[in-house]
Structure 1
Amino acid sequence: MPPAPALESFIRDELTSRVEAVRAHLVRPDEDNMLKLSGDARFASFDWTSFRGEQVADEHSSIAAAAQNVARIYHENKNRRYLSTGGVVHPRPGALQLVFSDLATPGGSRARSAYDDLRERLVGLGVPAEMVRFAHEFDRGDEAMAEMAEQCRDGRIAVLVGSTSKLGVGVNVQDRALALHHLDCPWRPRDIEQRQGRIRRQGNQNKEVAIYAYVSERSFFVYGWQTVER
């Protein structure tokens, strides 16, 4: 998608100046450094509104683009039928979608998370609020995780949003998983593997699945995806 003008300006002017200052040792390492620069570039590329608190047009928002796509898939597949554990058609229809983001998660330092923005947009597009859940709403204990997985398998959850750590290793919700959405780009290739292992998994009743990544042109995520896919 086309980048927000403010994001382009930030990358072209502010980030470039900061890189030059760090390389020339014009700032102390505790004030600015390459790791902090990379983190800011990553966050700004993810969602300019979350990064700077400035609204951008939906055409420049990865969250807006994801919401439109997730809602479309939900409505197209809300009557899709799946089998229960016993092999009979489950009375509750509907596919499952998984949305991943390690940035702007619930409970962070910001008053409003990107997760909240996504859910609000989905509800506005006709997805029932009670069917959009965050993995962060469930404790990491075995009982809570089992309940989350069961709700995904029986159609009570249509959209599950989580981070790699919350929704990656050991989460078995593949039965109805039809689509997976990367809102951000993790640092490590193995994190991509863990995410996509939730949907490309034995026991998924869908013959074909879809995987989406949301990337602004000329942003840090272009470089990020090129790096992790090598």
Structure 2
Amino acid sequence: MSDLSHIFKNLMFQTRHSRVAGIGNTQGSQRAMNLLFAIRDIQLRTGRSLGATFLSGTVVVNALTELYVMFKYLRPQELQSQQISCFDAWAAIFTQKSADYELNVTGKVKRKERFRTYIKVPELAMFLREITDYRTADMINLDVPEKNVRFLSHAPTIQQEEMIGRLMAFAGNGVWADLGLDTPEPDNLDKAKMLIATNVARKMSLDMRLLGDKFTDDDNNKASICARTVYDYYVRSSANKGTQFIFSDLSTYKPNEWNIYSDIKQKLVRLGIPENEIQFIQCATTESARKRLFDDMNAGRVRVLFGSTTMLGTGVNAQQRAVAVHHLEVPWVRHEVA
């Protein structure tokens, strides 16, 4: 049985559509390959397909290849009977490729070719229904609070404004020196220019200090604004010992090393929150430690908990006093605090 099966979707595959955007990483991950070997061993022993139970709240996340990967795991015999031996054969039957114009990271219009739609949907749906079952929140009478989403938008700091200009220049000409960073030029700059630009932009938007020691703190950066926002909720919910979750997948907690978690914690302590009421999920290294931490959250002994989507995003039963969940960045995958 594989819970959170969507984390195994990055399975290696071969394709001739190397210039088509959005098909994912053809090299795959070792974790996904290990799961494929384990399932194939079970299937060879039993002489049947299936052999595993996948559980997920996000079966298909963002790529048309993901359905093919699920069938490759669980229905190898059926794929063989339909003479589907590779991704390209599956794509030729069930998907349609088209080209359209899109904006790139520099704001310029570029022509992109993608697999944009499914075709033969009834046949594909029937194929999928043979191996899937689902439950919605209404079907199981899931008790969830009404969400109140707030998007806090703030002007960039002076250092961020300057870096935006440098980043635009780099994205246009690929000259590493235009970024003004102290780090050495990457070896694969020519092949990965846009990936590097995206990574720099992601770090810049969270905190300029992630780009090097030459950059400084700012009262109007995300860390400072987040600390003030969390403290406001902390004071307003003190009568009920309200708790809060802070999510960030970038610059997670590491001891004896600067990171965004520790920086915000220091700001919260200076604002007046006791240090022992602020915890990092990375410090709970065993199941018993996680359980104690979640019990402390539910009891209001811990009021602020930091974590990443991977470590705090699923299977967390610590919401009894929760008043707010803060996201410092957009997560790559969906998560639940239940």
Q: In the alignment, which residue of structure 2 is the partner of 1:15?
A: 167
The 5 Å alignment of 1:33-44 reads 33-44=193-204
* Equivalent position SS for 1:156: coil
Asked which structure has the greater RCO (Cα within 8 Å, sep 6+), the reply is 1
1:119-168 C-alpha deviation (Å, 9 max, x unpaired): 110011111100000111111x3222211211111111100011111100
Q: In the alignment, which residue of structure 2 is the partner of 1:69?
A: 229
Q: Distance in 2 between matches of 1:106 and 1:11?
A: 27
Q: In the alignment, which residue of structure 1 is the partner of 2:219?
A: 58
Matched, 1:181 2:181: no
Runs (4 or more) in structure 1 with deviation over 6 Å come to: none
Q: Distance in 1 between matches of 2:313 and 2:243?
A: 16
1:44-91 C-alpha deviation (Å, 9 max, x unpaired): 0101123333224302x11100101111111111121xxxxxxxxxxx
Residue identity (%)? 28
Q: In the alignment, which residue of structure 1 is the partner of 2:158?
A: 5
Q: In the alignment, which residue of structure 1 is the partner of 2:257?
A: 111
* Equivalent position SS for 1:3: coil
Unpaired runs of at least 5, structure 2: 1-153, 176-184
Taking only aligned residues, the RMSD between alpha carbons, in angstroms, comes to 2.1
* Equivalent position SS for 1:79: helix
Compute the displacement of 1:17 (Å).
2.3
Q: In the alignment, which residue of structure 2 is the partner of 1:87?
A: none
Partner letter of residue 162 of structure 2?
Answer: S
How many residue pairs align between the two structures?
Answer: 173
Partner letter of residue 74 of structure 1?
Answer: Y
Compute the displacement of 1:22 (Å).
4.1
* Equivalent position SS for 1:174: coil
TM-score, with structure 2 as normaliser: 0.48
Q: Distance in 2 between matches of 1:96 and 1:138?
A: 18
Q: In the alignment, which residue of structure 2 is the partner of 1:129?
A: 275
* Equivalent position SS for 1:98: strand
Q: Distance in 1 between matches of 2:278 and 2:290?
A: 16
1:141-199 C-alpha deviation (Å, 9 max, x unpaired): 3222211211111111100011111100111111111101111122x3xx2x31xx31x
User: Per residue, is there more helix in 1 or in 2?
Assistant: 1
Partner letter of residue 6 of structure 1?
Answer: Q
* Equivalent position SS for 2:225: helix
TM-score, with structure 1 as normaliser: 0.69
Q: In the alignment, which residue of structure 2 is the partner of 1:169?
A: 314
* Equivalent position SS for 2:320: helix
* Equivalent position SS for 1:180: strand
